[in-house]
Structure 1
Amino acid sequence: MYKVFFNQKPIFLTTEFVNQTESSPVLFVKFSSAENILKAIKSKKIESLYLYHQDEDKLWMHFLRCFPVVEAAGGLVRHEDERILFIFRNKKWDLPKGRIEKNEAIKTAAIREVEEETGAEDLEIIKPLIQTFHIFTRHGKYKLKKTYWFEMKTASTKKLTPQANEGIEEAVWVSESEVPSKFKNAYENIKQVYAEFKN
């Protein structure tokens, strides 16, 4: 089962048929469109949505017909003193990430985006974490953002510089004890990345 977020609400892509409820309906993805998926998930009565197809490949094929994919990469960066790098963008706490450029390696994109968005230096990838998915709108069209996340580390003491032209207001090092308070106003995807990091 895969989890895709839209405005903090989860859409579950599943090959296992589940019993629907009023707050968690099930749609057959083969017979769905972007319009009726969005209409359902935007309803105030609905807390989550299930999209079903018994075949995983066909499940994704039909879903991507509705929402073309845009690939991005980013990092959960841990300083040698155990603090975690956060950014504040669009009025929420987030982790640095951005779109993968044409012919760019995923790991290269992840490091570049973290550097550009925060000014962090001397980044080293430790390991891949998870991939997250969310639906966003660009130029009036809804698309699926697939983000590849990596655990990174650095010992750099350079002052962080948030990338203002990307709408980033803050780039800060956060102690682990402060992370729960940031999560009170953070994207659900980020919580998944952090949970994977802690496992």
Structure 2
Amino acid sequence: MSYEKSNCGRGLVFNFEDQLLLIFRHGKWDLPKGHFEKGETLESCAIREVKEETGLKEVTITSFIGVTEHTYFDNKLNSDAIKEVHWYVMRAAQRSGLFPQLQEGIEWLRWVSRGELSGYLKNSYDNIREIVGKAIPK
């Protein structure tokens, strides 16, 4: 079986109250992500997509967490695909003025404290729980 490989950048965005920004899309709590466009770095891709999906104006990368891969069926290619995800911890300068990117299926955005996080992650994806665990050790 052959796979088409694509890259994307994702961000774990924290505000200055140390709350994590979660997005609600397709019935699950998720993290902002983006698809790599020609001519941009994975870091600039992650920042651009976080801004587009959340309405945040100023986001900076503070550290690199790691890379994960997962397979999925790509309807456009009509074949299986591998997505390589580069994860970054980010800091947002604002807490309010968030606007979910509705055309990407994002219904809600929410700042979540560490104490509330496990409840939200119960309705999330395995790779999201895994990467949040790496970024926020217990």
On whether the aligned pair clears a TM of 0.5, the verdict is yes
Once the two structures are superposed, residues 15-71 of structure 1 have per-residue CA deviations (whole angstroms, 9 ceiling, x without a partner) of xxxxxxxxxxxxxxxxxxx3xxxxxxxxxxxxxxxxxxxxxxxxxxxxxxx222110
Specify every segment of 5 or more residues in structure 2 that has no aligned partner in the other structure, as ranges. none
Match of 2:16 among 72, 80, 86: 80
In the other structure, the counterpart of 2:6 is 70
In the alignment, which residue of structure 2 is the partner of 1:164? Answer: 102
- Quick check: which has more Rg, 1 or 2? 1
Q: Which residue of 1 aligns with 2:34?
A: 98
Structure 2: how far apart are the matches of 1:118 and 1:136? Answer: 24
Q: Which amino acid aligns with 1:145?
A: K
Q: Which amino acid aligns with 1:166?
A: E
Q: Aligned partners of 1:157, 1:79: CA distance in 2, in Å? A: 6
Higher strand share: 2
What's the offset of the Cα at 1:155? 2.5
Q: Deviations over 1:119-164 (max 9, x none)?
A: 1221111010111211122223210111101000123133211111
> Of the candidates 116, 125, 131, which is equivalent to residue 61 of structure 2?
125
Return 5+ residue gaps in structure 1 as ranges: 1-33, 35-65
Q: Deviations over 1:49-107 (max 9, x none)?
A: xxxxxxxxxxxxxxxxx222110001001100111000011111100001010121111
CA RMSD of aligned residues (A): 1.1
Q: Distance in 1 between matches of 2:102 and 2:82?
A: 24
Corresponding residue pairs, total? 135
Q: CA deviation at 1:182?
A: 0.8
1:143 — aligned with what? 81
Alignment TM-score, normalising by the size of structure 2: 0.92
Q: In 2, distance between residues paired with 1:67 and 1:184? A: 30
* Structure with more of its chain in helix, by fraction: 1
2:122 maps to which residue?
Answer: 184
Q: 1:153 is matched with which residue?
A: 91
Q: Provide the residue aligned with 2:132 in structure 1.
A: 194
Q: Confirm or deny: 8 A CA contact 1:121 1:158 kept in the other structure.
A: no
Q: In structure 2, the residue corresponding to 1:71 is in which secondary structure?
A: strand
Q: Percent identity?
A: 36
Q: Which amino acid aligns with 1:134?
A: H
Q: Output the CA distance in 2 between the equivalents of 1:170 and 1:132.
A: 25
